[in-house]
Amino acid sequence: MRTAVVQMRSTPDVAANLASVERLLERAVARGAEFVLLPEAFAFIGPDALKQQITESLPDGGPILAKCQALAAGFGVHLVLGGFHERSGEPGRAYNTCVHLDPTGAIVSTYRKIHLFDVDLADGTHLNESDRTVPGADIVVTPTPFGPLGLSICYDVRFPMLYQQLVDKGALALTVPSAFTLSTGKDHWHVLLRARAIECQAYVLAPAQWGHHHGSRTSYGHALIADPWGCVVAECGEGDGVAIADLETSIVLEARRRLPSLQHRRL
């Protein structure tokens, strides 16, 4: 399955962000992509007060979901909305939700981010995601033409047990759509993603935000695809772009046969 991970720079301008999604999706499809994954917060990164105004309920959605469904159907691709601002019903707090759309635009699966990013970093970055986000609780694997795909979002990548459980539920590939901070990304992004691929013996698909978004918020970028041996087989450089690779079920199965570490777990 030819798969594309998108790298983009979202801002408080929803219309501009969705125009970027359409442009990058068109680029991916022109290169043969059948499955396209968008990063976390693809539709909006900006002041929280404004974010609360553009949240949408699922499955009914609103203009953002409708636009994405039309794009999936128009291009005839599976489309993963890496981090959708889903209305929670709790004032001032939304879900951070990964949504899988099929080539008709229908919702296949949704996953609400479990691990929330509450940190004070040495460079002065202060993020308290739990102030404005309700955590999810369910582990989700979604069907694709390639095989089962385990869903996660950004900070989840630091918690290996989640990915082990996704593999136990059948996942042959894992997605980690992110808006990874610049300060942590330069040291941890590649290491964490490659580690999840190696220990789970699965493809890791990591669409990413890059550059300056709003205020002091800056993301690392480097959207990438890693294979089940932990090798990065496609990666974006600077700026907007798409990284594309062909996923092959046989490569996953061969990696698991050759080094059957998943069968050797004792704990």
DSSP for 169-194? TT-SEEE--B--BHHHHHHHHHHHHH
Query: What average pLDDT does the segment 46-71 reach?
Result: 96
Q: Residue 150: is its pLDDT beyond 90? A: yes
pLDDT band of residue 177 (cuts 50, 70, 90) is very high
Q: Residue 234: is its pLDDT beyond 80? A: yes
Give catalytic residues, as residue numbers: 40, 113, 154
Q: Residue 119: is its pLDDT beyond 80? A: no
* CA dihedral (166, 167, 170, 172) positive or negative: positive
Q: Residue 121: is its pLDDT beyond 80? A: no
Q: Give the pLDDT score at 219.
A: 96
Query: What average pLDDT does the segment 201-218 reach?
Result: 95
pLDDT tens digits along 4-28: 999 999 999 999 999 999 999 999 9
Q: Residue 267: is its pLDDT beyond 90? A: no
The length of the chain in residues reads: 267
pLDDT band of residue 38 (cuts 50, 70, 90) is very high
* Strand-pair category, 224-226 with 203-206: antiparallel
Measured CA angle at 222 (ends 12, 66), to 5 deg: 40
Q: Give the pLDDT score at 248.
A: 97
Strands (E), 102-248: 107-112, 118-120, 126-128, 141-142, 149-151, 173-175, 203-206, 208-214, 217-220, 224-226, 232-235, 241-246
Q: Residue 122: is its pLDDT beyond 80? A: no
Dist CA 219 CA 61 (whole Å): 27
* Strand-pair category, 241-246 with 217-220: unpaired
Q: Return the structure tokens found at 130.
A: 């739990």
Q: Return the structure tokens found at 106.
A: 């229908």
In the chain, the domains with their CATH numbers are 2-264 (3.60.110.10)
Out of 93-107, 120-134, 186-200, least confident range: 120-134
Q: Give the pLDDT score at 124.
A: 63
Q: Residue 125: is its pLDDT beyond 70? A: no
260 CB-contact burial (10 Å; exposed 0-12 / middle 13-18 / buried 19+):
exposed
* pTM for the full predicted model: 0.95
